[in-house]
């Protein structure tokens, strides 16, 4: 996102690498050479715990896992799969098999594992997938030039100059 048109005397960005607050570090904000804003603490993996859990062939229960953010390939490439062409509902199974990177002690997460999940666990993973992959405006810490009050605000994709 280009940050052109923002006047430094109107809004001063507080670029911090960390904070000593008890809450932990504040987001690290920076801009690349093209003036594009990005967050240095960008989270790409999310831990989860399934409501019921996956039971493997040996009868072991696996509930804790990790899901990563989806890439464009995760959503586009499965469309070529004949299973999806025959049954569009199978897209969910393939996409989840690609983005769930860990599930208990299961060695490899594939479509067979996802197919064997209880319906409530499949729904849980679908909701988690939507939640972590939704588009969210980046946030930035700013200071009011008049009262010098600090606050956090959303930095929209279509930035307009401050009047």
Interatomic CA distance for residues 124 and 90, integer angstroms: 16
In terms of residue numbers, what domain contains 62?
45-133
Token pair belonging to 78: 């499965």
pLDDT score for 146: 84
The overall pTM is greater than 0.95: no
Q: CB-based contacts of 66: which residues, under 8 Å, 6+ apart? A: 45, 46, 47, 48, 100, 101, 102
pLDDT score for 145: 84
Interatomic CA distance for residues 118 and 43, integer angstroms: 28
pLDDT score for 149: 84
pLDDT score for 142: 79
Buried b (16+ CB within 10 A) or exposed e, 124-138: bbeebbeebbeeeee
Determine, yes or no, domain membership for 72: yes
My answer on whether 35 and 49 are in the same domain is: no
* Closest among 132, 133, 129, 117 to 50, alpha carbons compared: 117
Determine, yes or no, domain membership for 113: yes
pLDDT score for 137: 65
pLDDT score for 26: 45
pLDDT score for 61: 98
Strand arrangement, sheet containing 139-143:
12-13, 139-143, 150-154
My answer on whether 128 and 56 are in the same domain is: yes
My answer on whether 21 and 82 are in the same domain is: no
pLDDT along the chain (163 residues), means of 10: 39 34 44 52 89 97 97 95 95 98 97 97 97 77 83 61 51
Interatomic CA distance for residues 152 and 131, integer angstroms: 22
Determine, yes or no, domain membership for 86: yes
Cα separations in angstroms, 17 against 26, 29, 53, 69, 149: 8, 8, 39, 24, 20
């Amino acid at each position: 996102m280009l940050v052109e048109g923002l006047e430094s005397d109107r809004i001063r960005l507080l670029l911090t690498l960390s904070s000593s607050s008890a809450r932990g570090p504040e987001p690290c904000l920076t801009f690349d050479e093209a003036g594009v804003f990005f967050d240095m603490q960008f989270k790409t993996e999310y831990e989860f715990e399934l409501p019921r859990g996956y039971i493997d062939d040996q009868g072991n229960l696996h509930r804790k896992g990790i899901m990563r953010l989806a890439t464009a390939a995760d959503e586009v490439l499965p469309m070529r799969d004949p299973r999806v062409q025959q049954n569009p509902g199978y897209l969910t199974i393939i996409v989840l098999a690609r983005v769930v990177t860990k599930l208990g002690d299961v060695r490899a997460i594939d479509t067979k594992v996802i197919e064997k999940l209880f319906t409530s666990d499949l729904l849980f993973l679908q909701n988690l997938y939507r939640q972590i992959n939704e588009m969210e405006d980046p946030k930035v810490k700013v200071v009011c030039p008049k009262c010098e009050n600090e606050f956090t605000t959303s930095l929209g994709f279509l930035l307009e100059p401050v009047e």
